[in-house]
Amino acid sequence: MKSNRMILKTYELDVDFQDAAGGMHRGHEEFTTLFTSVDQEQEPQLRYDPSEPTRFVLSWARDVTGGRMMAALFFLVMGPVFLLGAFLYARQHLRQGARAPPVAPGAAG
């Protein structure tokens, strides 16, 4: 398991499990939460689609759904805010470049 940061947490889990017929399966579960974390004291439970065992969900990912939704909402809102900020910064930078005085030929610079 990998988790980083205090507020925004990313979990990357490698999962090995045995299905009801005895077949072994391996998968990867990855999710991000905001302001919530997995209760690592609790043993995770796994549910899978018997017709497609590669489709599974861990209780840890299911139990922090609110935090996952908050993280998704955060990225949906903040993405455009960052893009707008970058656009405004670039526009201001280009305007300042257009106002720069011309350099005379042969001037030291």
Q: What is the mean pLDDT of residues 61-85?
A: 82
pLDDT of res. 3? 53
- In this predicted model, what pLDDT tens digit does every residue of 31-64 receive, in sequence order? 888 777 787 888 888 999 998 888 898 888 887 7
- Taking the C-alpha atoms of residue 72 and residue 95, their distance in angstroms, rounded to an integer, is 35
Give Cβ neighbours of residue 57 (< 8 Å, ≥ 6 apart): 29, 46, 47, 48
